Structure 1
């Protein structure tokens, strides 16, 4: 059963719920990089430290969960990681479509 593509896809859709937090943090970093708000004058280094560490931790957790599944699936590595990324993004895209 673990060799099927839908098992890996389902695992990553479930991981997509908690992934909303680091995705929002990445959006915030990207939005404030070019045009920071006037009241945010602490510098960008503190933003990278405060938001970069949780994003890196969540990325490592996502990779650690997916690595054993990637070895046991029947998909090629490129197919597996593309499917995993798309599965993880489904909750965020659903949230954007439902409540713009």
Structure 2
């Protein structure tokens, strides 16, 4: 089953790339709740869920599958971003760590 990308998906991916990150889009992995992106920067990989605050679905936050995946994931925390400003903030945070 193919998942539908949020309307802000492509601009957020582009912003990560503009900041020098590598991005693997994982929207259609077929794994329930798997985040939308794997983002690489400064030798680390980060799982990122994208949300669109302009849609009712996006404003609701993580769905049940996403919540369960995040709860059970034993790696680094999963980041949620919904705007280009949040992309910049999270990348700056990763680079300081």
TM-score by length of 2: 0.24
Higher share of residues assigned helix: 1
TM-score by length of 1: 0.24
Higher share of residues assigned strand: 2
